Chains A and B, each alone.
Chain A
Amino acid sequence: MSESKKSGLLLLGVGGGACRLIRETRKAFGETMRTLCVDTDSATDLPAEEGASPLPFLLLGGSRLAGHGAGGDFNEGRQAARDDWENILNRTQDTRTVMVVSCLGGGTGSGATSEIVKKLHENGLTTFCLLVKPFSFEGSPRIETAERAVSLIEENADSLLVIDQDTLFSATDETLLADAQAAASEQLVAALTLFWRMLFSPGFIRLDAERLHSLVIRGGKTCLGVASASGADRADAVVQRLVACKLFRNGEKLKTCNALLVGILAGEDLRLAEIGRIMEALDGLRKAGSRVEMGTVQDAAFDGKIELVVMGFSYVTDVKAPPVFDASQIQILTKSTGGKSRANKGSGLNFGPIGKGRFQKTEATVFNGCDYDEPTYMRRGITLER
């Protein structure tokens, strides 16, 4: 049994772009990584490389699309996921947290992902979605499809990390298209690999699946930064590069996060003082009172180098006390989980008593397991200002 299976983690790639990322991540991490790739295009199911075992693959909507792909059609992607949902479910046995990776804009990435996340949610699985939005030059139909998918996925995902490829490379950047895509892919693979290594590879400090689960379940919107450095001042340099990372908007994003997941990958030459310097530098950048979970991974192949990945979660940490009644200052306090539905979620936060007001004794209006008679702002975890 793979370690990730024991921990109940699964890395799921949806669509051709995501499957390529998963393939690269698995190559970098090793075959003990528990993965599943799903796509409507049978061409994604590439033969295994020499000496490697094949990447677990599931064709979606085979009877509908004959393995030719969704043709950019959102609904085809969604229907295909519905057709094969039972097969996906069978592959998620012993799974508690699913990290869903998807490149949006196409039919499968957008349509199938939104459907799969919804179904995973309905089946009580915790989902951490890493979504990659297309470059703006790819055209408005792809952007609109991606936007639509994000809004649907957001409703059911426990944690959501949306990476806009435009934020990696500006429009005036002279980077070649192929280089830009390769670099974007490289960063994502690095982040995924390090993330997995932190969970399953021995290190000075290990991030266990339980701690990850507790972050993801409360996650909300998430941001990500990756940087690496070598040399004598590598600890300081890696933080500087991380702050400069476009995904982190020059460090501004760090100040908005209520929890940080910090991963440090280095060789066996990693010193305690270097970990201290990195964490001290991050302390000065993060929001006061935010939670920090840190893990290190040591691998001789990384001697002389430090790779740093930081994931920021924007969930609301505190639950405010019930309001004191003041005739002129009515305040509405609810727990927030970052704007998503929690219906049918055993592991979700308790919002406290949810009143249905005048619909208390009527036949409930239920769609997809969600009671729509409960106020939307409560179900979405929206905190209202005074």
Chain B
Amino acid sequence: MSKSLIVAGLEIGTSRTVLCAGEQGEQGKVNIIGTGTYPTTGVRKGQIVDMEQVQVCIKRAVEQLEESTNINVWHVLVAVSGGHIHSKVNPGVLSIGDADITQEDVQDVTELANNVKIEDGRVLLHTIRQSFKVDDQPGIIRPVGMRCKVLQLDILAIDALQNRLDNMMNAVHKCQLEVSDTVFGGICAAIATLTPQQKSNGVVMIDLGGGTTNYVAFRENVIAAAGSIALGGDHVTNDIALAFKIAHNHAEEIKRSEGSALVDQESNGERVNLPVDKGFAPRSISRKSLHTVINARMDELFRLLRDILGEQDVLPNLGGGVVLCGGGAYLKKVKDLAQNVFGIPCTIATLQNVTGVEGLEQPASFATAVGLVQYGLRNEADKGKKGIMEMVKGWFKK
């Protein structure tokens, strides 16, 4: 019996909990062997507000995955998102004294840069190397052998609130699962969706989730900016519910079936029938008004992202365009709206370097969970060992 390393990634999203399992496939690709999904309750804007409900959602997703794949899940990687996630560039500066840079210098400056000071109550999720600055020359990738006086390395540090992570870990633990690692959801989605060419040209990946929107921007193959804002498709639904005084589930339904991120001026006079609860009279609303409400929210969201990316000096370097993923990417005409706001080409993501996802409906909405699996497998391969995530196919058959 051949052993195969299987990694499971769990995303507790605001609208859906997704558990995805995969193994290393052929030609460097990751083979997704199964997914389990369940509509989430008890999460608002990426944060747990009802622990018991969240546990139920996790358990249902696990059950679905286990039933469809004949594996038992004991360890999971967990994706983290939410407005509490912050990122900043932390520079490490090393004075060399007019000499050639050595590998030791690089190690020393890396250590300095990795020494990120974070506020009390926060925990460091990732430190990502950006580029070196050799004296006054920025953007250096491999500085060893160059002559300089001062060597600088910029590190992108991503941190999160400890208590929010603890809540998530507790919910997972109570479902008899071990958390092998926590990963920022934006990075996972970027791993799953971006091509090397896009990263090289400069690209921004926007994951339009239910409660949060994650973004990761690449410039010359390096992550230049990353973050999460507590706005998402749920805000669109909430706006619709308030605008037309309808139930949240009905608002979600018409958003999916009739929604559009752009207002069609020719839709004047057109009506959209609302879902009818038993005993209530039929109702309809203006299609143009529906689209206006959605457009206002999505336009605002993209403008906010544009401002944030502008502040981080990322916008002038996006030759690879904008890549949208997450459930929100399937909102009608959202790509056109993003294109209008950012003024650069925009596309809906396709999952990269994976097999076994052909049957998935709206595959870009699985980007975070699939990326988690890719992240986990890559990490394990880097370690060169089979760690606690190892599971053996067939050994735990039900």
Contact = CB atoms under 8 A, between A and B. Distances in A.
Interface of A: 74-75, 78, 144, 148, 151-152, 155, 327-328, 330, 332, 355-359, 362-363, 365, 367, 372-373, 375-378, 380, 382, 384-386
A362 B241 CA distance: 17
B83 interface: yes
Contact of B243 (A151, A373, A377): A377
A355 B242 contact: yes
Nearest to B237: A358
Given A327-B281, A328-B282, A358-B238, A376 B45 contact: no
B325 interface: no
A384 B49 contact: no
Contact of A330 (B245, B299, B313, B315): B245
Given A328-B284, A375-B243, 4 more contacts: A365-B83, A377-B292, A380-B300, A384-B289
B242 to A, nearest CB: 5
B297 to A, nearest CB: 4
Interface stretch (B2-10, B60-68, B110-118, B226-234): B226-234
A384 B286 CA distance: 9
Nearest to B304: A367
- Label chain B's interface by main secondary structure: helix
A375 B310 contact: no
B45 A357 contact: no
Given A377-B293, A382-B292, A75 B310 contact: yes
Given A327-B281, A382-B292, A375 B313 contact: no
A365 B296 contact: no
Contact of A376 (B230, B234, B296): B296
A148 B343 CA distance: 9
Nearest to B245: A330
Given A358-B234, A377-B292, A384 B243 contact: yes
Given A330-B245, A362-B49, A365-B45, A373 B235 contact: yes
A328 B285 CA distance: 8
Contacts of A358: 44, 234, 238, 241, 248
B242 A328 contact: no
A364 to B, nearest CB: 9
Nearest to A332: B243
Contacts of A359: 44-45, 235, 238
Contacts of A367: 229, 304
Contact of A384 (B241, B293, B311, B316): B293
A356 B234 CA distance: 12
26 contacts: A74-B310, A144-B343, A327-B280, A327-B281, A327-B282, A328-B281, A328-B283, A330-B244, A330-B245, A330-B285, A357-B238, A357-B242, A358-B44, A358-B238, A362-B45, A362-B47, A365-B45, A373-B235, A373-B238, A375-B243, A376-B293, A376-B296, A377-B292, A377-B297, A380-B296, A380-B300
A373 B236 CA distance: 10
Contacts of B248: 357-358
Contacts of A148: 343
Contacts of B45: 359, 362-363, 365
Most buried by A among B243, B297, B303: B243
Nearest to A355: B242
Interface of B: 44-45, 47, 49, 83, 229-231, 234-235, 238-239, 241-245, 248, 280-286, 288-289, 292-293, 296-297, 299-300, 303-304, 307, 310-311, 313, 315-316, 343
A384 B268 CA distance: 12
Report the 7 A-B pairs with minimum CB-CB distance, sorted nearest first.
A384-B289, A376-B296, A375-B239, A365-B230, A357-B238, A376-B297, A327-B281
Given A365-B231, A375-B238, A376-B239, A332 B44 contact: no
B243 A327 contact: no
Nearest to A339: B296
A118 to B, nearest CB: 10
A372 B296 contact: no
Given A376-B300, A385-B286, A332 B281 contact: no
Contacts of A327: 280-283
A330 B297 contact: no
Contact of B231 (A151, A372, A384): A372
A329 to B, nearest CB: 8
A363 B212 CA distance: 13
Contacts of B300: 372, 376, 380
A362 B48 CA distance: 11
Contacts of A328: 281-284
A324 B64 CA distance: 47
Nearest to A365: B230
B178 to A, nearest CB: 29
A35 B334 CA distance: 44
A382 B296 contact: yes
Contacts of B238: 356-359, 373, 375
A327 B277 CA distance: 13
A75 to B, nearest CB: 6
Contacts of A144: 343
A372 B343 contact: no
Contacts of A363: 45, 47, 83, 230
A139 to B, nearest CB: 14
A327 B297 CA distance: 26
A148 B36 CA distance: 43
Most buried by B among A144, A373, A377: A377
Given A365-B230, A372-B300, A373-B235, A385 B343 contact: no
A78 B306 CA distance: 14
B289 A385 contact: yes
A296 B49 CA distance: 62
A351 to B, nearest CB: 13
A322 B170 CA distance: 46
Contacts of B241: 357-358
Contacts of B239: 375-377
Nearest to B274: A330
B344 to A, nearest CB: 11
Nearest to A323: B245
B283 A332 contact: no
Contacts of B315: 75
B376 to A, nearest CB: 30
Nearest to A76: B313
A74 B47 CA distance: 36
A385 B288 contact: yes
Most buried by A among B83, B230, B231, B248: B230
B123 to A, nearest CB: 18
A358 B293 CA distance: 17
Nearest to B307: A152
Contacts of A378: 242
Contacts of B229: 365, 367
Nearest to B239: A375
